[in-house]
């Protein structure tokens, strides 16, 4: 609409008009499910969630329910919001922390452009096995899906992957790190740290499983966009 009146698609603007665009919500096929949610921030276009470890982002394969998508669709229905699920980035099932979800296609497009332009920043905290002598470094190692299982591996023909780490503290047999992603590949931090000989504590795939901490010690602590 232009100045509160219906308008033709071909109509030209002269300047100073008020244009109103109604975005129809996308058809939602995700079933709502009442699940605990830790909402950090929400407005008309996006929502930031502190995702729990063990929660899948959206239904896939054998994971038909119990996902973040199921929980958010329920939340939006209960709060009478016209929103649809558009994850801007993803976290592994075993990774906890902040995750950004757009609530309409337009917001998703704008935020995805920030990722492509390198203006979307993600910071993680992690505990790795062993001590690290270099206080900080950038890991540049392309990744590809391994031939078997769910593992990823470093390979020259893989997709570009860049991680920067900074040692916050070294402890007996472990180190606390802050890590920044310049790319967002599956298992990127886990593979990159394992390649240094310092896999994440509790990582059952790239490190040594720990019955006292049965998941990788990795938490998404900050988003900037």
196 touches 139 (CB < 8 A) = yes
How many CB atoms sit inside 10 A of residue 192's CB? 24
Cα Rg of the chain (Å, integer): 21
Element of type H or E holding 69: helix 68-78
Q: Using an 8 Å Cβ cutoff, are 222 and 47 in contact?
A: no
3-state secondary structure 49-73: EEECCCCCCCCECCECCCCHHHHHH
- Output the six-digit token pair for 7: 């308008």
Q: Beta partners for 41? A: 48
Contact at 8 Å (CB) between 182 and 164?
yes
Catalytically active residues are 92
Give dist(CA 100, CA 221) in Å, integer. 12
Instruction: Judge whether 188 and 181 are in contact, CB under 8 Å.
Output: yes
């Amino acid at each position: 609409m232009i100045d509160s009146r219906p308008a033709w698609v071909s109509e030209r603007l002269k300047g100073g008009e008020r244009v109103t665009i109604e975005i129809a919500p996308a058809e939602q096929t995700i079933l709502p499910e009442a699940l605990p949610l830790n909402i950090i921030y929400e407005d008309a276009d996006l929502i930031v969630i502190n995702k729990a470890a063990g929660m899948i982002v959206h239904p896939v394969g054998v994971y038909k329910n119990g996902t973040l998508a199921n929980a958010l669709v329920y939340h939006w229905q209960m709060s009478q919001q016209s929103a649809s699920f558009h994850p801007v980035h993803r976290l592994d099932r075993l990774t906890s922390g902040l995750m950004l979800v757009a609530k309409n296609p337009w917001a998703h497009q704008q935020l995805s452009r920030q990722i492509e332009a390198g203006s979307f920043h993600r910071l993680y905290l992690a505990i790795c096995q062993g001590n690290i002598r270099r206080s900080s470094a950038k890991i540049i190692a392309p990744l590809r899906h391994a031939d078997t299982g769910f593992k990823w591996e470093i390979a020259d023909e893989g997709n570009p992957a860049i991680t920067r780490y900074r040692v916050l503290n070294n402890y007996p047999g472990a180190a606390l790190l802050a890590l920044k992603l310049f790319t967002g590949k599956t298992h990127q931090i886990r593979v990159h740290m394992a390649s240094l000989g310092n896999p994440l504590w509790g990582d059952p795939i790239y490190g040594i499983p720990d019955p006292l901490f049965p998941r990788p010690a990795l938490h998404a602590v900050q988003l900037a966009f």
